[in-house]
């Protein structure tokens, strides 16, 4: 049970910001939002996670709405190497199952 | 640390044969996960261990699949007998509870059963 909804695909011009949305309308108060990506033929790679505050790291920013029912992953300056499938996951911070949905296939266009 | 290490990277076997996939988690991690990925079903959690003990195996498709973790640094996923529908990429991941509990994935084993 992935508990998240994402658009199946998106395009982004190289150098522009990529904004990937995720709906998680049934999220519980103790569930975190995690983002992973999977570049072709590789294992999924952790990007970022958050509970209710916006988060930023060297890879991306995570914006979570005040009601926590949706979030957006932002890649500030997309490169061709960011072409991948991006997964949005909700899970309890100390719970241990990561359930992956179908994700968003992001294509960065030169 | 070299990350999560899986072997072999590719495996081709005939239907009915036994297949064993291997995983070495990151040192110090106390959770280990086995996933299967296919085009039709995406990434599916098969089983996970905590401190070498299986916690949830509800994702294991049937009795032909078994997983063990004899110690903190090694786990196996066995399929016996294998069938063509088992063809998939199998990923192992590990994580450490209590810290930022993201899971780190291996590069996967691509299994083809002919």
Give B57-109 as a DSSP string: -TT--STTEEEEEEETTEEEEEESS--GGG-EEEEEEEE-BTB----EE---E
Nearest CA in chain A to B98: A94
The pLDDT, as a whole number, for residue A2 is 59
Task: Give per-residue pLDDT as tens, B49-58.
Answer: 999 999 889 9
The pLDDT, as a whole number, for residue B99 is 45
pLDDT band at B100 (very low <50, low <70, confident <90, very high): low
The pLDDT, as a whole number, for residue A100 is 83
* B contact test, residue of A98, A101, A104 with most B CBs within 10 A: A98
Asked if the Cβ–Cβ distance from A49 to B56 is below 8 Å, we say: no
Q: What is the mean pLDDT of each run of 10 residues along chain A (110 residues)?
A: 86 97 90 92 92 93 96 97 95 70 94
B74 CA to chain A: closest CA distance, Å?
Answer: 18
Asked if the Cβ–Cβ distance from A97 to B56 is below 8 Å, we say: yes
Task: Give per-residue pLDDT as tens, B4-53.
Answer: 999 999 999 999 999 999 999 999 999 999 999 999 988 999 999 999 99
Pairing of the two strands A31-38 and A84-92: antiparallel
Return the number of other C-beta atoms located less than 10 Å from residue A40's C-beta: 7
Q: Order across the sheet with A31-38: list the strands.
A: A9-13, A104-109, A84-92, A31-38, A45-50
Dihedral-angle region of residue B38 (phi above 0 means left; psi in -120 to 50 means alpha; beta otherwise): beta
Tell me the two tokens of residue B97.
């509870």
The pLDDT, as a whole number, for residue A95 is 59
B40 CA to chain A: closest CA distance, Å?
Answer: 10
| CA dist., res. B112 & res. A72, Å (int) | 37
E strand or H helix at A98, and its extent?
none
């Amino acid at each position: 049970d992935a508990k998240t909804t994402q658009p199946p695909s998106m395009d982004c011009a190289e150098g522009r910001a990529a904004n990937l949305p995720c709906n998680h309308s049934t999220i519980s108060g103790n569930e975190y939002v995690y983002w992973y990506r999977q570049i072709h033929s590789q294992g999924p790679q952790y990007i970022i996670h958050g509970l209710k505050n916006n988060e930023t790291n060297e890879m991306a920013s995570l914006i979570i709405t005040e009601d926590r029912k949706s979030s957006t992953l932002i890649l500030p300056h997309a490169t061709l190497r960011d072409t991948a499938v991006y997964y949005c996951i909700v899970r309890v911070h100390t719970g241990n199952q990561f359930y992956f949905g179908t994700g968003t296939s992001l294509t960065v266009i030169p | 640390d070299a990350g999560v290490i899986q072997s072999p990277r590719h495996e081709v076997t005939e239907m009915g044969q036994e297949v064993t996939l291997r995983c070495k988690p990151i040192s110090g991690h106390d959770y280990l996960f086995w996933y299967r990925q296919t085009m039709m079903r995406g990434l599916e959690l098969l089983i996970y261990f905590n401190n070498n003990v299986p916690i949830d195996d509800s994702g294991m498709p049937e009795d032909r699949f078994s997983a063990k973790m004899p110690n903190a640094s090694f786990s196996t996923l066995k399929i016996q007998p294998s069938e063509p529908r088992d063809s998939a990429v199998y990923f192992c991941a590990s994580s450490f509870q209590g810290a930022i509990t993201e899971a780190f994935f291996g590069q996967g084993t691509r299994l083809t059963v002919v």
